[in-house]
Structure 1
């Protein structure tokens, strides 16, 4: 059984590791049940306490699970938090395909792309957890989301090389997550549709500028 970990605020598992971990969880009902209890306990505690005030002992008491069992699954409360919201960030781009990207980059029309991006902001409990993760595990969330974006985008990009794609992805994801945090905190008074449209529009403009100017290809 693999343990989900964070190291110095940076995610300690690759996308492939996370996928292997989820597969293992699906195959073993005991592991799945234990992790569901721990994640549910964290969600319940967050209804009345700040994440910074919650201890691993609090989580274990709420779940009626021994601390040693907690550490068999997660190395920190941040890792537990990330595991609870990981699918929100890793599933954003999984349904995006070549035709959607080509059409969007050529025309700017993003209806199909927005529909394919699975960004569910309807569940208040999930929204609360995502907001907490952006605040307390931001580096890990950013790394996880960049990996997810690259996993899809790099398969379909034909105009930029690997380094250019990485620079573009890092810039885009960083901006998108900052917008998401502001949106969830109520400091960005726009609709969920507009929240998705703004970073996509900027991504298209950045890509066009990078291709036309060659600025990314001139990096040392």
Structure 2
């Protein structure tokens, strides 16, 4: 009996997540109502409220699940050297590409602003920390450089998603990696 309830709960949460993602393609989270979520998911309001407080709570849970999954995926790898940072960047972009629709919505203006901050934090932890250690940058700039690089990288990833992922995750990882290591001078014509 417990297994049936768990499956039912899983199904309800799945249809609510799908309904919210569809609605967020059209409008911001602030305009999404529980009533329209329930209508789209074909569930009643009391069922919705047995799982979530409101649409923001549902969005927050979607972002947290995606973030936790991304974190667990990246923790499977143990990159210690700077030259392996490109591989880690590629893994992040492959992960984002596999879940592009959700990531695009969560990073968009209609989505969850805290999700973008979490993504910036995870990239700082997994990539920039190693880069900063290897390049032994002084403390006076160490607070700003990761923020500048990672924020630009996340905006680049968001743009890549919006533009239909024309480049492969590997190509995007190389582009970002080249910029981090060589700045604009790394893009001069030869």
Pairwise same-fold verdict (TM > 0.5): yes
Aligned length: 169
Give the drift of 1:188.
8.2
Where does structure 1 lack aligned partners over 5 or more consecutive residues? 1-27, 207-220
Displacement of 1:66 after TM fit? Answer: 3.9
Equivalent-residue separation in structure 2 for 1:179 and 1:65 (angstroms): 38
Provide the C-alpha distance between the structure 2 equivalents of 1:165 and 1:94, rounded to a whole number of angstroms.
24
| Distance in 1 between residues matched to 2:146 and 2:53, nearest whole Å | 29
Preserved contact between residue 90 and residue 170 of structure 2 (Cα < 8 Å): no
| Change in CA separation of 1:71 and 1:173 when aligned onto 2, cut-off 3 Å | farther
Other structure's SS at 2:144 match: helix
2:33 to 32, 42, 55: 55
Q: Say whether residues 1:134 and 2:110 are aligned partners.
A: no
Contact 2:89–2:127 (8 Å) recurs in 1: no
Larger helix percent: 2
Residues 1:180 and 2:157 are matched in the alignment = yes
The superposition leaves residues 192-219 of structure 1 with CA deviations (integer Å, 9 ceiling, x where unpaired) of 332222222223347xxxxxxxxxxxxx
Residue deviations 1:26-75 (CA, integer Å, cap 9, x gap)? xx9365444223112324x349x613364321112223444355355445
Kindly report the root-mean-square deviation, in angstroms, between the aligned alpha carbons of the 2 structures: 3.9
Deviation of 1:179 after TM superposition, in Å, equals 1.0
What TM-score, normalized to structure 2? 0.62
Q: How does 1:1-220 map to 2 (within 5 A)?
A: 29=6, 32-43=10-21, 45-46=22-23, 50-52=26-28, 54-71=32-49, 73-86=51-64, 88-89=66-67, 91=70, 93-99=74-80, 101-104=81-84, 110=86, 112-117=87-92, 119-120=94-95, 123=98, 126-135=99-108, 136-137=110-111, 139-153=113-127, 156=130, 158=133, 159=136, 166-186=143-163, 190-205=167-182
8 Å CA contact 2:120, 2:154 repeated in 1: no
- Residue 186 of structure 2 aligns with which residue? none
